[in-house]
């Protein structure tokens, strides 16, 4: 009786093992057919990115955007510097013209003026380009202003 129970238990374990093996083989065959279509679907949905594209998006594009940002900042800084230089030149010339106008000899004086200011130039008004906006250190737009020189 004990040997019969051991034999039945051994047969039951063998049948369960055969069922598991056949289920594993069936599942593996099913997955082998299913896996390529699932992977293709995921790739088309954008879940898989090839290495070159990933490298370009993560490394090159971030580097490129940084370089463009630096170059744009240099251009803005150079434009501001040039505007300041032009403003200083115009202010200096306006002061020279004002000084020359006050150095004119009075009526009845025998002195000849050494130089005369440009006709019709009493002051110079600088206008900002309407297509540009200046910003301060906080990034806020500065109000437009006219500078009389």
Q: pLDDT per residue over 74-92, tens digit each? A: 999 999 999 999 999 999 9
Is pLDDT at 128 greater than 80 in this prediction? no
Counting Cα atoms < 13 Å in the Cβ hemisphere of 115 gives 7
Q: Per-residue confidence at 33, pLDDT binned at 50, 70, 90?
A: confident
pLDDT of residue 93: 95
Is pLDDT at 144 greater than 60 in this prediction? no
Q: How many residues does the chain have?
A: 149
- Taking the model in full, what pTM does it have? 0.36
Is pLDDT at 118 greater than 80 in this prediction? no
CB of 134 closer than 8 Å to CB of 141:
yes
């Amino acid at each position: 009786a004990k040997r019969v129970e051991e034999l039945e238990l051994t047969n039951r374990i063998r049948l369960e093992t055969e069922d598991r093996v056949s289920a594993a083989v069936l599942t593996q065959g099913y997955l082998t057919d299913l896996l390529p279509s699932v992977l293709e679907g995921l790739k088309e949905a954008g879940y898989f990115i090839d290495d070159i594209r990933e490298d370009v998006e993560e490394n090159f594009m971030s580097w490129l955007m940084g370089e463009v940002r630096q170059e744009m900042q240099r251009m803005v800084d150079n434009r501001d510097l040039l505007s300041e230089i032009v403003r200083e030149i115009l202010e200096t010339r306006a002061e020279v013209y004002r000084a020359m106008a006050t150095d004119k000899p009075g009526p009845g004086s025998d002195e000849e003026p050494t130089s005369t200011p440009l006709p019709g130039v009493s002051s110079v008004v600088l206008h900002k380009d309407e297509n540009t906006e200046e910003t301060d250190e906080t990034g806020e737009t500065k109000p437009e202003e006219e500078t009389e020189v």
